[in-house]
Chains A and B, each alone.
Chain A
Amino acid sequence: MPRIGVFVCQCGNNIAATVDTKKVAEEMKKLPGVVFTCDYKFMCSSPGQEMLKQAIKDNKLDGLIVSACSPHMHEKTFRKAAEAAGLNPYQCEITNIREQCSWVHHDTTKAVGTVKSIDLTRMTIERLKKNRPLKKIKIPVKKRALVIGGGIAGIQAALDIAEGGREVILVEKEPSIGGNMARLSETFPTMDCSQCILTPKMVEAELNENITLLTYSEVEKVDGYIGNFTVQIRRKSKFVDEERCTGCGECIEKCPFKTESAFELGLSKRKVIYTPFPQSVPNVPVIDAPNCPKIQKDKCGACAIVCGPKCIDFKMEDKIVTEEVGAIVVATGYQLMPNERFGEYGYGRIKDVINGMQFERLASSSGPTGGEIRRPSDGKVPKNVVFIQCVGSRDEKKGVSYCSKVCCMYTAKHTMLYKHKVHDGQSYVFYMDIRSGGKRYEEFVRKAIEHDDAMYLRGRVSRVYEKDGKVIVQGADTLSGSQVEIEAEMVVLATAIVSREGADTLAQKLGIGYDKYKFYNEYHPKLRPVETVTAGIFLAGTCMGPMDIPESVAQGSAAASKVLSLFSADEMAREPITAGVNKTTCNACWDCVTACPYSAIERDTVKDRQGNIVKWLARVNEGVCQGCGVCVAACRSKSIDLRGYTDEQVFAAINSF
């Protein structure tokens, strides 16, 4: 006969207001196998837990029920207490009589709530009687990490993990790490130069012995599970031997062909053999194959002739490398919404309508104009500039519904940079609201308005068109209730931040979730902000949604600390609530393989002594299984059961109802 204890929690008045907890306890005492019952004000409090431990010892309990709040809240607490008292923690079960009972019933006579609590608790008791002691699953952990994306978030994560003494592979698809931050001129609200604060970190990442930089590379395939991922990485051919290249730049100098620079966002040209920007890390050029006449038509080859160490190889091909890692940090960043979508603003048609990132390049001392604000059409210094905020952001109809968060700040910064460079210039800003939440942010915007004379107009722009070499901006000033028309010499659009192209494909490879905008989903938006639902994969930076540099850096560090704590032990313990296959009845229909959302079920074989396959069957990888139970429902021969939630347990609970 089992010896079960039932502890009914009053949860102050949360439960006791509509449930007669004393009566529940008394009723439970009458059931066979129940040897101890009580009710108590707060079971989760220290005295409550002590009482529970004492009762286990005094009554020699071999199982216990706590009828209290949702198991999401305190299942762990009570299982720990049970374990401390010498019980298998999985012999402790929770009945939810708060969220699913007392909170939804408002009958203060307690009639309904009490009856329902009795029913629920009885069901749990019957379920508990069929429980088998379970053991936590131990998984060995490979103590190397993969960081995908070499922007500021990824660099920070890689540096922190490396500082913690673990190996990191940092994969970046561009020829250099640095990401979008490398494009910025100054950063708000301190106005320190972006490159000056970023490049030391880039160099540190290159020099750190624990970090392996794989630039011009992309993740091809991800297999495995927490602690044991196998990742295939495509190392795109650079046509330059990284080991031997000295970075002298002679090849770039001599290359006679030019094409549009992606890094400069079309504002200038670069050579066909190139590094994206002067401070590139690693300082190894790559050949832009589609535009190289040597590779396409076997003409030229000037770079190979001048190359001292002879490290140029036009026949170089992509390589796939396989790495084994224990954890993955995804920091793939963002891009700007293509603003050709906004016909009314004339982007792509009117040369002097540019986006915010292009303005960053114009303002950057390493940019195409050497830091002078010159408009793209004729190189003239514009005497007035109109900034349009919320282009695509907060615009459900034509763009995205969310706020891109950084545009208010960088537009204020742009007006200041412009004023500092063009003293007699006038800037106008069309805005919806000024969102400047952050340390010293509001003061920064005020400074732009009060000190640098930015003219802020609250309203939207309806049309931008060209007339006599000027860009006419028509809009509304809703504060004065009038229509305004500005003859601008340049227009800057604060375009919405959107997820990177291909973000969904990568998410599918990794098995992580994303929202309708293809931003990656965190496990919990408040309490687990850098974890994903897939154990062992962490997130950092703008791949999750718009955020500024401080936030991205904080997340990089947070993800790194998660990785380091995972790596702190040789083995990782996991909850044993996983599916198991009955080898004798499985008939290998593979419905479970199809159904499993985590790819946790593999096709396994049974062989005879000669090595001949005698039977195929499904096998659950406990490291990957999340215990969702989909396979149990899919299995036609009823050969799969979920530990802790076996059919036997569930039926026992239902039968007792």
Chain B
Amino acid sequence: MKIPYYPGCTLNTFAKSFDESARDAAAAIGFEMAELKQWNCCGATFPLTPDNLIALSAPAKVLSNAGKEGDTLTTLCSVCYNVLKRTNKVMRDNKEKRTTINGFIEEEYDGGVNVLHFLEVLRDKVGFDKVKAAVKRPLAGIKTGAYYGCMLLRPFEDMGIDNAERPTVFENLLKSLGAEPVEFPNRIECCGAHLAMNNEDVVTKLSGNVMTSAVGSGAELIVTSCPLCQYNLEKSQDKVVAQTPGYAGVPVIYFTQALGLALGQPIESLGFEKNVTDVMPLLKKKGIV
């Protein structure tokens, strides 16, 4: 199986370990993430005003390129996923906007591509049972908090990946990897997102809430599906530790790193050294490495 894949800018630069661990994991399970021959930035934000069509032209271009390579497109970054999926809906359902955008980007795209998050690919195309069968290094005994963030699930009627209030897809994946998923209250709350640029205090507070909530519920590890969540959680880590009595920090990794770990990929290939928080002591403690 070969699935057209859109890495997005962050995964191509800052979050290289997210990208590489996912590709390796896919290969280990038995399918290929085939990077689009030509792609550009998704725009990173879905416009909140309905007439801001120019903001849709970049993702529409990506989708149009993807359409030339197949009928599905997978991506890893929650923000890319959000923007692409919602833009695709506009291109599919709104004839007037479609005509305008196509005219501008000089394409004939009709919204025919099915945009899937990598999690959806694993769940619906591959199947978690098959993932489970491929596990060679089960993450046994690691209490893991799956942090969804907001972009992956919402708005529900556009994204439709899972129940926006009580999602299970992430936990089910973790279960198939042998880990022990921990449902924590703040798992679908915002991390502070782009406020990292200009209001770090808010980010520290919100990301801090996420991490303390996870640890409070017993999590020893947090997995993320978004480079921005990963960044904010890791970046705030020290400040939160300093501000919160009784909180000693928690390692945060991409879910694909956890996946690669469970699939028995070489530790060096997972890019843990690029993470700010160190997951190795935990893995050693649990006897996984």
Q: Which residues of B contact A12 (CB under 8 A)?
A: none
Q: Which residues of A contact B163 (CB under 8 A)?
A: 343
Q: Which residues of B contact A343 (CB under 8 A)?
A: 163-166
Would you call A472 and B185 a contact (CB within 8 A)? yes
Would you call B185 and A342 a contact (CB within 8 A)? no
Q: Which residues of B contact A465 (CB under 8 A)?
A: 185
- Of B157, B164, B166, B185, the contact of A467 (CB 8 Å cutoff): B185
Would you call A463 and B185 a contact (CB within 8 A)? yes
Q: Which residues of A contact B189 (CB under 8 A)?
A: 463
Interface flags for B135-155 (1: CB within 8 Å of A; 0: not) read 000000000000000000000
Interface flags for A323-354 (1: CB within 8 Å of B; 0: not) read 00000000000000000001110000000000
Give bound CA distance, A465 to B166, whole Å: 12
Q: How near does chain A come to B274, taking the closest CB pair, in angstroms? A: 33
Q: How many residues of A contact B (CB 8 A)?
A: 8
Would you call A342 and B165 a contact (CB within 8 A)? yes
Interface residues on B, range: under 10
Most chain B CB neighbours (cut-off 10 Å) among A344, A397, A465: A465
Binding site of B, secondary structure by majority: helix, strand, loop or mixed? loop
Give bound CA distance, A344 to B164, whole Å: 9
Q: Which residues of B contact A397 (CB under 8 A)?
A: 157
Q: How near does chain A come to B167, taking the closest CB pair, in angstroms? A: 9
Q: Does B216 contact A (CB under 8 A)?
A: yes
Would you call A344 and B216 a contact (CB within 8 A)? no
Q: How near does chain B come to A618, taking the closest CB pair, in angstroms? A: 46
Q: How near does chain B come to A461, taking the closest CB pair, in angstroms? A: 12
Give bound CA distance, A463 to B184, whole Å: 12
Interface flags for B180-204 (1: CB within 8 Å of A; 0: not) read 0000010001000000000000000
Q: Which residues of A contact B166 (CB under 8 A)?
A: 343
Q: Which residues of A contact B185 (CB under 8 A)?
A: 463, 465, 467, 472
Interface flags for A346-367 (1: CB within 8 Å of B; 0: not) read 0000000000000000000000
**Closest A residue, CB atoms, query B155:** A397
**Closest B residue, CB atoms, query A462:** B189
Q: How near does chain B come to A363, taking the closest CB pair, in angstroms? A: 29
Q: Which residues of A contact B164 (CB under 8 A)?
A: 343
Q: How near does chain A come to B90, taking the closest CB pair, in angstroms? A: 19
Q: How near does chain B come to A478, taking the closest CB pair, in angstroms? A: 19
Among residues 113 to 157 in chain B, which have CB atoms less than 8 Å away from a CB atom of chain A?
157
**Closest A residue, CB atoms, query B164:** A343
Among residues 240 to 274 in chain B, which have CB atoms less than 8 Å away from a CB atom of chain A?
none
Interface flags for B5-46 (1: CB within 8 Å of A; 0: not) read 000000000000000000000000000000000000000000
Give bound CA distance, A463 to B165, whole Å: 9
**Closest B residue, CB atoms, query A474:** B185
**Closest B residue, CB atoms, query A349:** B166
Give bound CA distance, A467 to B183, whole Å: 12
Give bound CA distance, A397 to B189, whole Å: 20
Among residues 447 to 501 in chain A, which have CB atoms less than 8 Å away from a CB atom of chain B?
463, 465, 467, 472
Q: Which residues of B contact A342 (CB under 8 A)?
A: 165
Q: How near does chain B come to A259, taking the closest CB pair, in angstroms? A: 28
**Closest B residue, CB atoms, query A464:** B185
Q: Which residues of B contact A467 (CB under 8 A)?
A: 185, 216
Give bound CA distance, A539 to B164, whole Å: 39
Give bound CA distance, A344 to B163, whole Å: 10
Q: Which residues of A contact B157 (CB under 8 A)?
A: 397
Among residues 510 to 537 in chain A, which have CB atoms less than 8 Å away from a CB atom of chain B?
none
**Closest B residue, CB atoms, query A468:** B216
Q: How near does chain B come to A396, taking the closest CB pair, in angstroms? A: 11
Interface flags for A373-408 (1: CB within 8 Å of B; 0: not) read 000000000000000000000000100000000000
Give bound CA distance, A164 to B189, whole Å: 62
Q: How near does chain A come to B215, taking the closest CB pair, in angstroms? A: 13
Q: How near does chain A come to B213, taking the closest CB pair, in angstroms? A: 9
Interface flags for B79-122 (1: CB within 8 Å of A; 0: not) read 00000000000000000000000000000000000000000000
Give bound CA distance, A467 to B214, whole Å: 12
**Closest B residue, CB atoms, query A345:** B165
Q: How near does chain A come to B188, taking the closest CB pair, in angstroms? A: 9
Q: Which residues of A contact B165 (CB under 8 A)?
A: 342-344
Give bound CA distance, A397 to B165, whole Å: 13
**Closest B residue, CB atoms, query A463:** B185
Give bound CA distance, A126 to B155, whole Å: 62
Residues of chain B touching chain A, judged by Cβ–Cβ distance below 8 Å, are 157, 163-166, 185, 189, 216
Q: A-B pairs with the 10 shortest C-beta distances?
A: A343-B165, A343-B166, A465-B185, A344-B165, A343-B163, A463-B185, A467-B185, A472-B185, A342-B165, A467-B216
Given A343-B164, A463-B189; 8 other pairs, CB 8 A cutoff: A342-B165, A343-B163, A343-B165, A344-B165, A397-B157, A465-B185, A467-B185, A472-B185
Pairs A–B under 8 Å by Cβ, sample size 13:
A342-B165, A343-B163, A343-B164, A343-B165, A343-B166, A344-B165, A397-B157, A463-B185, A463-B189, A465-B185, A467-B185, A467-B216, A472-B185
